[in-house]
Structures are given as C-alpha cells and as structure tokens.
Structure 1
Amino acid sequence: MKTMTAKQVENQHKELNIIDVRETDEVAAGKIPGAQNIPLGLLEFRMNELDKSKEYVMVCRSGGRSGQATQFLEGQGYHVINVDGGMMNYEGTTE
C-alpha cells in the first residue's frame, strides 16, 4: 500500500484528489480544503463516482479506515494512497 505523510498532504493538497472516509459529523468539524467526503461504509456503493485514471489520497481520523479504503479500492483497480496518521497528524488549514 502506498502512503504519504500528513505534511506532504499539507504541502500538496491543491494538486491532490483527496477522499475523506470519515463520517459526516466528523467531517463537519473540519476537513482538508477540496476533499470529497465518502464515508467508509458508503465507499462500495459510491466508488462509481471515482475515475480509475486518477490517483486518490485517502484520509480519515488516524489512518485505519483510510487504510481499509485504500486496500479495498486497490483491489477494484483504483490508484490510491493512504495518509499515515490521518487528520490527527494534519496541521494545515481546514474548511
């Protein structure tokens, strides 16, 4: 599984396709600007919204759920990267 640090995401978030797999109420407290929210439990049903020709960066609170999402999407043929430590390690701006 490919990974990147929260610091790398902070520095590159404008160029990345970020998918936040936290629940809606968690995201309401703040998400990375431009990130799309698809809760982990809905990912299987909404993965058709993603483009297999693009690379996606998966994020959650600590990296566990996004790791599950990364493994699942990799198995479906998507290009994905997991954020180590998730939002707990992210120090950039949120919206």
Structure 2
Amino acid sequence: MFESMSVLDFTTLYNEDELNVIDIRETDAFLQKHLAHSISLPATVLPNMLDQLDKDKTYHIISNGGRRSETIAAFMTAKGYHAVHVIGGMDSLSL
C-alpha cells in the first residue's frame, strides 16, 4: 500500500527539508507553475522512466488535483518504489 500525505503536512515537510518531488503534470502545466527542485516527469512518460529512479529514495508525487498522483503512487509502490501521494495536488498548495 502506498502512502498519502495531506497538502498541509507536505507543505510543512517541504519547507523543512529538501524532498524528491515528482510533478506528473504535462510539461506545459509544469512550466507555468511548479515547486522549486521538483522533477517534471509526466504521468504518460513516467512508467517508461522508472529504471532511472532510485528505489532507495522517497518520492512525493504531485499532480493538479491529486487523482493522477494517487494512481502513479500506487503504480510506483507496486514496482518497489517508495512513493507518497500528495492529496489535493498543486491546486491545493499555497507555496
């Protein structure tokens, strides 16, 4: 089972520590607004790029509203990665 984290908890952790954030939105949305140090890896591309990610790291997965990030976090967890779904996504962040 994958982990989920509220946007409030994510914001607190993000402000205190450097996280591995994967933004799974399409490139144009990422270019318009994104978190500093986040990686743009659209959901349509991510499954083919998993082998480039480190299974020893924790990845916080973010999308627009949180639905796609939930699916991707579950997929990554099933493949042996530690993925945390950020509930509410970019739409809920006020960073």
Q: Does 1:17 align with 2:23?
A: no
1:8 aligns with 9
Displacement of 1:9: 2.2
Q: Percent identity between the aligned chains?
A: 30
**What CA distance in whole angstroms lies between the structure 2 residues aligned with 1:59 and 1:67?**
9
Q: CA RMSD of the aligned region, Å?
A: 1.0
- Name structure 2 gaps, 5 residues minimum: none
Alignment correspondent of 1:67: 70
* SS of corresponding position for 1:40: coil
- Could you tell me which runs of 5 or more consecutive residues in structure 1 were left unpaired when the two chains were aligned: none
- Contact 1:6–1:89 under 8 Å retained in 2: yes
Matches of 1:82 and 1:56, distance apart in 2: 9
Tell me, yes or no, if the aligned pair for 1:7 and 1:91 is still in contact at 8 Å. no
The one of 31, 36, 52 equivalent to 1:33 is 36
Q: What is the total number of aligned residue pairs between the two structures?
A: 92
TM-score, structure 2 normalization: 0.91
Deviation at 1:15, TM superposition (A): 2.3
- 4+ runs of 1 displaced by more than 4 Å? none
Q: Is 2:56 the counterpart of 1:53?
A: yes
Q: Distance in 2 between matches of 1:39 and 1:11?
A: 25
TM-score by length of 1: 0.91
Aligned to 1:41, the other structure's residue is in SS state coil
